[in-house]
Structure 1
């Protein structure tokens, strides 16, 4: 097993080096990213409006006035679910349900989407960017608010029916970067997102968790088998005519000072404030969202 993990680690390093060369020297030359054509702008707008209608999207913001246009925010959206469908649907300039102060927000997501022909350009035009440290810093430095799922794909390893598990206690990186730029944290939860797709996750007794976790780190995502309505990629409906409704709730902003070199204690302090706010958000709105019987857990 140790030899296998060592081989996988070596392969991952080689893959990252090759991907960096491919991205900088080939992909951006042959397939550059730029402004969306007018027809594509219309198509993206139509797609977003259709998705909002399909999911009967509703948004609750506990304090609209507290989300100010002259302030930069790091929106921490939970959960990741099998697929975080709320991210491309809501966090873009076409979604009128988004608080106006966040209209120019950028989504931070796995770089894998930029290597797939079907998603590279549409995702970029929607405002999705690679979730790497340099991009994170550069966006906040340019006064762009960002949204990400702090728990990331690791939450796919923790998914359980009847539970929403948020992997947050060790996620200090997004808090550290927010402190570096004085960006405020904004807790956000998407009720209903976890029910949009069914899933099957590889693991014991056939595949050891260690192997699955290593593959996840290597690929950047968990190799789930997912399906929606009729076994297709169409998200589930609760009835023939009604899709799984989605309720996205924004909590109150958590004010952070600007600190170039925050201590571990300071980072942990603001991470705990975010965790507390997220837990309170879930408990306050779970009944009106139809998830009163769901257990919400932070690990």
Structure 2
């Protein structure tokens, strides 16, 4: 593996950062904005912000089809110049364009991410306005982008518009002369042909843009981006292969099929998702005069299409070159060996599955539901929303385990357990004739210990505690998301609400129930630093009150190692970072910690957890006398007693699980 040197010029670092920004925008900005506004709507008291944004999108829905809302200031950002220089990208002019006319640029090929099209026609980094004075560039993209909040306005400021009939008609027929409208003719489907040195374009049956040019008398301009298909490597998918067949079916179903590709990494030149530094030369060909025909016949369309095809071939032949990739020398990180047992590979894959589920599980169903609203399958979203509403009480009434499906016993949970490894330590029996409230500490970054021990059977909970049924309680918002809610409930997860705890512990579900609560909540993740044993408990008394009201025994649980599996950026109390995180918490309900772990191919940096042991010790049950309406003094008394039991559990077990004898458990 070729690794990036540590000492490189600053401008190269800035170029890489610019491409990272663009890569994130291209792949995740739509998901991120939707996730944020979905979260604000369902989980905070600021739901009106999401409603306001949705109202704005509906009110402003025609703007992307009427030239957008461009900003030369954004198009001239310095970041686009750094991005241009990364490859580098150049815009090659072969003929003048008359600003008294309108032009329709046919851009080829799409490549994986259409980098050349965006930099050349969505920014001023390559000098479009200087090369073609008097011309205004518009790059047309998928209509769906303009349904995403914030994203739509960002794209329109760059001069991007909706690639629709109405949009093309407006730009070429109603907004005056001097417009250069760029359409990536092959569309996203053409990305499946994006292999290095493979010069294939989808054009034979693409004639809609020809018809538009005829209707408005816009001159056609062939454009070819040499190098567009060389900046990524794609898994081989020839016509007729199983992969291509699957991709074709996906395209018919959801409108696109993402190619399986890779490029370089941030710290290496061999594997990652950033593009390779290969030059891209976008050549703008000679304009093809088109006589206006408001209602062109098929013969007229075919004739112009043939002329366009011949011009594109001539452009390609005149400018094609044999380009070679740049070679770089590197300096290494600590990389994972290639020859490791299959078992360890499966463990890593299982943790990747968990990580992506944890971060993106709620995103994709939400995105898909929103996407379907704008298709003929809108009824699927309406049906799902109706079911969520109809079934809204189930997560607060014990969920829907469906044990026969075996979700809690799926093999990936065992692989995740063995990755660290995770163990469940029993110190006392739990009588099935009683109900229990298990309080788990600390939260850590992702609560691996809680999920594996109580949300699955990987560590043998049911064998260690026969007759006890655990229910891990998590944020109520998860149960507002279609599909996700069913999957979580099948694993025994329920909503962490008063009604849920009352139902589980108050006799409605019978005896032998164990409601599991991660007491510190997501806010406690800000304290998740290695060798830092801090729990949020001083003001967390609601779980104690619930235990008193139901007479459920309190059981302290401590996961040794939970805070060791990631490294978090220092954020001590009073620091600027912590102040910002606290403000974010108050604003949106949570503040994600800034952390890192290991990578898939290295042991130093990435978003996977380190392989550090997690030992979850379940303490001795603490008897709680049932009081239907406990006073504050009674709650405080039991709370103090519980803190004593938790501290004793920590002190009795800390040296067994790698904690120094002089380390203390601190309560906040």
- Say yes or no: TM over 0.5: yes
Aligned to 1:288: 656
Could you tell me which runs of 5 or more consecutive residues in structure 2 were left unpaired when the two chains were aligned: 1-39, 52-368, 370-381, 392-398, 600-604
Q: Does 1:85 align with 2:85?
A: no
Residues 178, 184 of structure 1: 8 Å contact kept: yes
Q: In the alignment, which residue of structure 2 is the partner of 1:107?
A: 472
CA distance in 2, matches of 1:62, 1:228: 31
CA shift, 1:213, in A, is 2.4
CA drift of 1:263 comes to 1.3
Distance 1:100 1:18, change over 3 A: farther
Mapping for residues 240-259 of structure 1, pairs under 5 Å: 244-259=612-627
Whether 1:15 aligns to 2:47 is: yes
Q: Residue 235 of structure 1 aligns with which residue? A: 609
The RMSD of aligned alpha carbons is: 3.4
Task: Check the 8 A contact 1:110/1:220 in 2, yes or no.
Answer: no
Aligned to 1:62: 427
Shift in Å, 1:205: 5.2
Query: Are residue 197 (structure 1) and residue 566 (structure 2) matched?
Result: yes
Shift of 1:217: 4.2
Q: Residue 16 and residue 86 in structure 1: after superposition, are their counterparts in 2 closer, same or farther (change >3 A)?
A: farther
Shift of 1:260: 0.7
Q: Does 1:174 align with 2:206?
A: no
Q: After TM superposition, give the deviation of residue 85 of structure 1 in Å.
A: 0.9
Check the 8 A contact 1:93/1:103 in 2, yes or no.
no
TM-score, structure 2 length as denominator? 0.38
Change (3 A) 1:87 1:246: same
Q: Which residue of 1 aligns with 2:637?
A: 269
Whole-angstrom CA distance in 2 between matches of 1:280 and 1:116: 40
Given candidates 530, 540, 557, the residue that maps to 1:188 is: 557
Q: Which has the larger radius of gyration?
A: 2
Give, in angstroms, the shift of residue 91 of structure 1: 0.4
With over 3 angstroms needed to count, the CA separation of the structure-2 counterparts of 1:228 and 1:182, relative to structure 1, is same
Report whether the alignment pairs 1:137 with 2:509: no
Instruction: Provide the secondary structure at the position in 1 that maps to 2:656.
Output: coil
Cα separation, 1, equivalents of 2:48 and 2:542: 21
Q: Decide whether the 8 Å contact of 2:408 with 2:491 is kept in 1.
A: no
Distance of 2:458 and 2:577 partners within structure 1: 41
Mark the runs of 5 or more structure 1 residues left unpaired by the alignment: 1-7, 238-243
**Which deviations, in whole Å up to 9, do the C-alpha atoms of 1:48-83 show, x marking residues without a partner?**
22222222222322222xx11111000011011122
1:28 positional shift: 5.4
Superposed displacement of residue 122, structure 1: 3.2
Cα offset, 1:115, TM superposition: 5.2
| Residue of 406, 411, 420 corresponding to 1:41 | 406
The separation in 1 between residues aligned to 2:597 and 2:479, in whole angstroms, is 24
**Counterparts in 2 of 1:43 and 1:297: CA distance versus 1, 3 Å:** closer
